Amino acid sequence: MAPVLEVSGLSTVFHTRRGLVRAVQDVSFSVNAGETLAIVGESGCGKTITALSLMRLIPMPPGQITSGSVKVDGTDLLQLDEREMRKMRGGKIAMIFQEPMTALNPLLTIGRQIAEMVMLHDNASRAVAKTRAVEMLHHVRIPEPERRAREYPHQMSGGMRQRAMIAMALACKPKVLVADEPTTALDVTIQAQILDLIGDLQKEFGTAVVLITHDLGVVAETAQRVVVMYAGRKVEEAPIKEIFARPSHPYLRGLLNSIPRVGSARGLDVSPDERLQEISGIVPPLNDLPVGCAFNPRCSLANDQCRAERPAFELKHGDHYAACFQA
Amino acid sequence: MAMDKTPLIEVKNLRKFFPIKKGLLRRTIGHVRAVDGVNFSINPGETLGLVGESGCGKTTVGRVVLRLIEPSDGAIEVSGRDITTLGRAELRPMRRQMQIVFQDPFSSLNPRIRAGDIVGEPLKVHGVGDKKERQERVAQLFARVGLRPAQMNNYPHQFSGGQRQRISIARALALDPGFIVADEPVSALDVSIQAQVINLLMDLQRDSNLAYLFISHNLAVVEHISHRVAVMYLGRIVEYADKASLFARPQHPYTEALLAAVPLPDPELQRTKVRVDGDVPSPIRPPPGCHFHPRCRYAEARCKVEAPVLKEIAPGHQVACHLR
């Protein structure tokens, strides 16, 4: 089966007064229909810029996609003109954001916003689009969808707004859904509802999902494949079970060791004052990356080679890739 | 757990209702019952974790305990003395013992004041030492929270998020308090930085016998740092227990659902999906009876009319549920 989304060699830079910021460098991945690929990393690792690059939503200037291709069903989005791209956005590839309040138009009702999408992409009449909007709200399990369609975003709770945004994103049955921290602003019980919902809709429509998150718990529950990013580059990639069982890059190992876990009091003998393992230091600024491996100043395994050369992203063992001399 | 006889902080039947005003005459048309009859105590050197979802009243509890917001009713005893009746002047010396660290390390530090002056401000306000002594004390505090004293002249924007939270912690420590309210102190930080700040808070507690009211929505962090835990829902504590007991045997259906909802970083785990439907209801018109009943899968007829009270069901484990 050919992947629905194929990203290869994607690089995005920003021209700023402080110099060239290489936000995304040489990032490649592919996602099959019905599959979820998680892109994990901390703030400043380039995961959101990767998502925005896929949608071609990078403000240019100062931003610029300098190389690579983003193929959806074989069509390279980076080669399209703006008019063609607008057809793709929402039609073939859609995005949901962390904070639905900033992504929804506060002046239009929820129903109207979804209907607009349907009218634009499916050339549907106003009446058909309206019915479709209500159907979609029903689909994302919003109670009383007819009434809710007439409401404005501010009248809804955070969880409801996120559902409405998902309804809008999926209204035209896109092949690819890019979800940038879709549950980070939500409470855990609501987060669980939204993740279940995305999973169910994905199964039903066969959508390929790119899930951007910093939460390794969310990754473990939803993704089939994981890409770990650090300082704008991929540092590790593997199937979900493999990457949690044998994390290879010291950065991912550090991340996994630094998170406290719920349930440690339930059996596992963790004494109450056991220290969490820290990753020392902070993520380097993208306009001033260290020489060699970008992680070397924070890495306990770093040696002279790590401080001089950048490790290649290569196959380490069966379908497990990493960029590390020590892995 | 610390075993002192008198608790450092004891909160009794605490209430905070915010009036909702409407119309030209700003008449009060109702109340948000943000905190509705909360009881807890914290011993010296102990951490009480206060968990709940947004809007449950946990932040209001933290502020009312310090009288940053005035309570509507109830008592707040600090070493046995009720501070709710104290006037401004009498409260002032008490304030030295009680400090707060806020969630957002960006908005809680004045961007136009140097880091050293931010940390030194409480010393100045309370007239501690002369300028030189204060400088020395600030330098010590910087070292204690893992910052270089040379950074005292820098402004907040020159620090990273984790470092700013260290500045907030240093400021809270300046007057050598016995009690700190930490309101979501690591929520705005990246995970690798979270661990640094959590470790720092735990080190400080061990060295200075600090007591914390640790407010968070993150159950994993609360489980890691707390000795005892209180779970809040719509202004009330629904479960209150020793950490081990609460996480091993959650008794309230809400706690159970909350724990089940936390995604675990292990794809091999067989998860029990206990999902709760719906949203948290409005605290302006909370449901009658048990506030949780519309979302509870075990709810019975009596849950809809009669509000359950906290009762002890095992030593050190209290729960407010008719079915337990």
Residues of A in contact with B224 (CB under 8 A): 260, 264, 276
Per-residue tokens: A171: 């209204």
- Provide the residue range defining the domain that includes B302: 9-89+216-319
What pLDDT score does B274 carry? 66
Residues of B in contact with A245 (CB under 8 A): 268
Q: Out of B181-185, B205-209, B265-269, pick the least confident.
A: B265-269
Q: Is the Cβ pair B244, A43 closer than 8 Å? A: no
Instruction: Establish if B33 belongs to a structural domain.
Output: yes
Per-residue tokens: A320: 């497990």
What pLDDT score does B5 carry? 67
Interface of A with B in 67-106 (CB under 8 A): none
Please determine, for residue B70, whether its predicted confidence score (pLDDT) is greater than 60. Answer: yes
Segment B307-315 shows an average pLDDT of: 92
- Which of A244, A256, A276 faces B224 most closely, judged by CB atoms? A276
In DSSP notation, A70-137 reads EEETTEEGGGS-HHHHHHHBTTTEEEE-S-HHHHS-TTS-HHHHHHHHHHHHH---HHHHHHHHHHHH
What pLDDT score does A267 carry? 47
Q: Is the Cβ pair A278, B224 closer than 8 Å? A: no
Per-residue tokens: B44: 């010296």
CA distances from A305 to A88, A291, A296, A308, B125 (A): 44, 10, 10, 5, 53
- For residue A312, the SS3 value is coil
**Positive or negative: CA dihedral A220, A222, A226, A227:** negative
Instruction: Establish if B14 belongs to a structural domain.
Output: yes
Residue B265 phi/psi, 5° resolution?
A: -80, 55
Please determine, for residue B271, whether its predicted confidence score (pLDDT) is greater than 80. Answer: no
Cα A182 to Cα A169: distance, rounded to the nearest angstrom? 12
Q: Is the Cβ pair A272, B243 closer than 8 Å? A: yes
- For residue A21, the SS3 value is strand
Instruction: Establish if B163 belongs to a structural domain.
Output: no
- For residue A205, the SS3 value is helix
Buried b (16+ CB within 10 A) or exposed e, A177-208: bbbbbbbebbbbbbbbbbbebbeebbeebebb
Segment B243-250 shows an average pLDDT of: 91
Burial of B62 (C-beta count, 10 Å sphere; 0-12/13-18/19+) = buried
Cα B194 to Cα A279: distance, rounded to the nearest angstrom? 10
Q: Which residues pair with B180 in a beta bridge?
A: B99, B212
- Residues of chain A with pLDDT below 50 are 265, 267-270, 272
Instruction: Establish if B202 belongs to a structural domain.
Output: no
Instruction: Establish if B147 belongs to a structural domain.
Output: no
Q: Is the Cβ pair A192, B277 closer than 8 Å? A: no
What pLDDT score does A264 carry? 58
- State the pLDDT confidence band at B1, using cuts at 50, 70 and 90: very low
Cα B230 to Cα B210: distance, rounded to the nearest angstrom? 19
Q: Is the Cβ pair A195, B263 closer than 8 Å? A: yes
- Which of A215, A262, A267 faces B223 most closely, judged by CB atoms? A262
Domain count within chain B: 1
Closest CA to B231 of B128, B310, B312: B310
Instruction: Establish if B159 belongs to a structural domain.
Output: no
What pLDDT score does B29 carry? 84
Closest CA to B16 of B58, B78, B77, B79: B58
Q: A155 to chain B, minimum CA–CA distance in Å?
A: 13
Read off the DSSP letter of residue B24: T
Q: B172 to chain A, minimum CA–CA distance in Å?
A: 22
Average pLDDT, chain A: 88
What pLDDT score does A228 carry? 96
Cα A115 to Cα A92: distance, rounded to the nearest angstrom? 17
Q: How many CB pairs lie under 8 A apart between chains A and B?
A: 136
Q: Is the Cβ pair A263, B268 closer than 8 Å? A: no
Burial of A215 (C-beta count, 10 Å sphere; 0-12/13-18/19+) = buried
- Chain A residue with CA closest to B254: the answer is A189
Q: Is the Cβ pair A189, B263 closer than 8 Å? A: no
Cα B180 to Cα B12: distance, rounded to the nearest angstrom? 19
Residues of A in contact with B280 (CB under 8 A): 187
- Which of A42, A160, A217 faces B264 most closely, judged by CB atoms? A217
- Which of A196, A255, A272 faces B191 most closely, judged by CB atoms? A255
More confident residue, B295 or B2: B295
First-to-final CA distance of chain B: 26
Half-sphere exposure in the Cβ direction for A105 (13 Å, CA): 11
Strands B98-101 and B317-319: unpaired
Neighbour count for residue A21 (Cβ, 10 Å): 20
- Which of A254, A262, A265 faces B262 most closely, judged by CB atoms? A262
Closest CA to A313 of A223, A210, A233, A225: A233
The alpha helices in chain B, defined as continuous H runs, are: 58-65, 88-95, 115-125, 131-144, 161-173, 191-208, 219-225, 243-248, 253-261
What pLDDT score does A251 carry? 93
Segment B135-146 shows an average pLDDT of: 93
What pLDDT score does A268 carry? 44
Q: Is the Cβ pair A189, B227 closer than 8 Å? A: no
Give the model confidence (pLDDT) of A126-181 as tens digits. Answer: 899 999 899 889 888 888 888 889 999 888 887 888 888 888 888 888 899 999 98
**Positive or negative: CA dihedral A113, A117, A120, A125:** negative
- Which of A189, A195, A241 faces B267 most closely, judged by CB atoms? A241
- Which of A214, A256, A265 faces B247 most closely, judged by CB atoms? A265
Query: Are the CB atoms for A53 and A23 separated by under 8 Å?
Result: no
Neighbour count for residue B76 (Cβ, 10 Å): 22
Per-residue tokens: B53: 């979802």
Cα B53 to Cα B31: distance, rounded to the nearest angstrom? 20
Closest CA to A169 of A222, A207, A224: A207
What pLDDT score does B272 carry? 62
Q: Which residues pair with B15 in a beta bridge?
A: B36, B73
Give the model confidence (pLDDT) of B84-136 as tens digits. Answer: 999 989 998 888 999 999 988 888 899 999 999 999 999 999 988 899 999 99
Segment B289-317 shows an average pLDDT of: 92
- Which of B193, B194, B223 faces A264 most closely, judged by CB atoms? B223
Element (H, E) at A203: helix A188-205
Instruction: Establish if B191 belongs to a structural domain.
Output: no
Neighbour count for residue B241 (Cβ, 10 Å): 26
- Which of A158, A240, A276 faces B199 most closely, judged by CB atoms? A276
Residues of B in contact with A272 (CB under 8 A): 227, 243
Q: A276 to chain B, minimum CA–CA distance in Å?
A: 6
- State the pLDDT confidence band at B2, using cuts at 50, 70 and 90: very low
- State the pLDDT confidence band at B60, using cuts at 50, 70 and 90: very high
CA distances from B318 to B125, B219, B238, B250 (A): 41, 18, 8, 10
Cα A293 to Cα A309: distance, rounded to the nearest angstrom? 7
Query: Are the CB atoms for A114 and A65 separated by under 8 Å?
Result: no
Cα B32 to Cα A156: distance, rounded to the nearest angstrom? 18
Q: What percent of chain B has pLDDT over 70?
A: 97
Per-residue tokens: A30: 């592919």
What pLDDT score does B41 carry? 95
In DSSP notation, B160-194 reads -HHHHHHHHHHHHHTT--SEEEEESTTTTS-HHHH
Q: Is the Cβ pair A217, B243 closer than 8 Å? A: no
CATH number at residue B303: 3.40.50.300
Q: B54 to chain A, minimum CA–CA distance in Å?
A: 7
Q: Is the Cβ pair A262, B265 closer than 8 Å? A: no
What pLDDT score does A273 carry? 52
Read off the DSSP letter of residue B318: E
- For residue B23, the SS3 value is coil
Q: A37 to chain B, minimum CA–CA distance in Å?
A: 14
Query: For chain A, give me the number of helices (H) and strands (E)?
Result: 12, 12
Buried b (16+ CB within 10 A) or exposed e, A105-115: eeeebbbbbbb
Interface test with A, best of B191, B210, B277 (most A CBs within 10 A): B191
Interface of A with B in 259-298 (CB under 8 A): 259-267, 272-273, 275-280, 282-283
Instruction: Establish if B195 belongs to a structural domain.
Output: no
What pLDDT score does B46 carry? 95
What pLDDT score does B17 carry? 93
Write down the residue that tokens 């057809």 correspond to: A87
Q: Is the Cβ pair A191, B195 closer than 8 Å? A: no
- State the pLDDT confidence band at B269, using cuts at 50, 70 and 90: confident
